Amino acid sequence: MTRIGRCFAAARADDRAAFIAYLTAGDPDGEATVALARRLERAGADMLELGVPFTDPIADGPVLQRSAARALEAGTTLEGVFEMARRIRRETSLALVLFSYLNPIHRRGLAQAAREARESGIDAVLVTDLPPDEGAPFAAEFRRAGLDTVFLASPTSPPERMRRAAALSSGFLYVVSRPGTTGARSELPRDLAATVRRARRAAGDLPIAVGFGIATAESAAGVAALADGVVVGSALVAAAERAGANRDDAVEQLARSLAAACVRSGARRTSA
């Protein structure tokens, strides 16, 4: 079982959803990213998506766009992200997902990027702008390097596309909660339960994680009741952005509330 698989198995045994946090690597610098990773683990995160900053982040809302711009201004490269991953792997037990657009990986060379990702301690790769229709050669290369693969499905994905995304995924299937870009929202989409049911039919035993728009403990609890994993990105990045020099404490405080919300109500009653 891979580290990703062990995270989901441990969460399942505890009757909770795995808490998957996102950070833009290098925002505002590499040291800050490693420090935040340590705080996220202490707060209860199971996995960390390390976002590779990109000049044209079309899937990202304003918070992550600003975050990518700060990271690029600081000189963050894919090679630098791998170095951050090495340090996080040495200093935490978090499962690590490389969250990237295709361009930085393509420029590095697919085979080389996959090999370097694995050597740096990365466990899985998610390429946000790689459609499943074109993903098979990339998934094969990543898996040859010993990496899990994660593909996206959305509420607008027809059944065949959802099945293809699930078939190419080995770590988990990432279900986008709503159409559009990333960013915190005040409430969950009304059709989310139906979307997750469709994803489960497509994925079989593969874990399902839901992201995009989850910002509060209340929304995290709602997703935890439906899915195997809860992904939170923009809310954590925004908390760090607002807090400035106090970013570590702000992110840990928010992460603790989100991790607690991932414990399902039955488990909370039992522990009480």
Which active-site residues does the annotation give?
49, 60
CB 155 within 8 A of CB 176: yes
Q: Which residues of 252-262 are buried (b: 16+ CB within 10 A; e: fewer)?
A: bebbbebbbbb
Gyration radius of the chain's alpha carbons: 17
Query: What is the C-alpha separation between 185 and 205, in angstroms, rounded?
Result: 29
Q: Is the dihedral of CA 155, 160, 166, 168 positive or negative?
A: negative
For 252: left if phi > 0, alpha if psi spans -120 to 50, otherwise beta; the answer is: alpha
